[in-house]
Each structure stands twice: as C-alpha cells, then as structure tokens.
Amino acid sequence: MRRDPAIDKYLAGVSPRDRALLQQLRRTIHTLVPEVDECISYRIPAFRYQGRTIAGFSATSKGCSYYPFSGTTLKTLARATEQFSQTKSTLHFGPENPLPKNLVRMLLEARLAEGGRRRAKGRST
C-alpha cells in the first residue's frame, strides 16, 4: 500500500462536509483492498491495484462522486446502486445518502473481476 500526499492536499481543499465523506471512503477502500496504491488519475484521487486503476473519488459543488474507472461496473450493479444518482461511469453521493461499506465492497469486487476477465482474454492457451 502506498499513500499519496497529493490526495491529502486534494482533501484539504474540499469542504469539511465532503472531506469527511471522502476520508471515510478512502479508509474503506484501504480496508477492503489493503494492497491498493493511491495516485492521482484524470486529476482526481484514485486507487490502483496491480497496476490497474480500480476506483476514484471527487468532490463537486453538488456533492461527492465515486468513479469505478469502468463503463460497465455501474451497469453490472444497477440494482444495488439504483438509490444513487449516477451517470454511465460515476456514482453520486452525499451526507444524506453516503455509500455503505457493503456497496463499496461490491463496486470494488465487480471492478476487480472485470480486470481478471480482461487479463484472461489476453492469455493464450
């Protein structure tokens, strides 16, 4: 696990309300995937596992966003994420509707499974 001081700097510039949510999400991701490395990707705090970016987050004027760095993860988990506003690749949340730990677990597991399928397709047998 590698923590990135750039994420601390990013969080220092976020409203206290959103900072608390994002810090909790950061801790949850580290708990669920202890080997994850932090980085900045596409100008947002992100998390890499075995060289693949598997999650990210940001704060906006409207609240917080979770990025699975995949165009299919949220579609795969449509029923589990239906209570959240979202786009094809972003899940929106806030203090009135935070991301539960079990949903973050499902998001990460789905994203990691996508990576495994991609690697498996590239292998020759």
CATH number at residue 54: 3.90.1150.200
- Please give the pLDDT value at position 122: 39
Domain range spanning residue 63?
A: 5-115
pLDDT for residue 71 is more than 80: yes
38 bridge partner residues: 47
* Distance between first and last Cα of the chain: 32
Residue 122 domain-assigned?
A: no
Residues of the chain above pLDDT 90, percent: 84
Whole-angstrom distance, CA of residue 82 vs CA of residue 96: 15
Say yes or no to pLDDT of 120 above 90. Answer: no
* 116 pLDDT tier (thresholds 50, 70, 90): low
- On whether residue 26 sits in a domain, the answer given is yes
**Are the CB atoms for 55 and 28 separated by under 8 Å?**
no
55: number of CA atoms within 13 Å, CB side?
Answer: 28
Is 80 part of a structural domain of the chain?
Answer: yes
The domain tally of the chain equals 1
Q: What is the mean pLDDT of residues 23-27?
A: 97
Confidence of residue 36 (pLDDT cuts 50, 70, 90): very high
- Quick check: is 120 in a domain? no
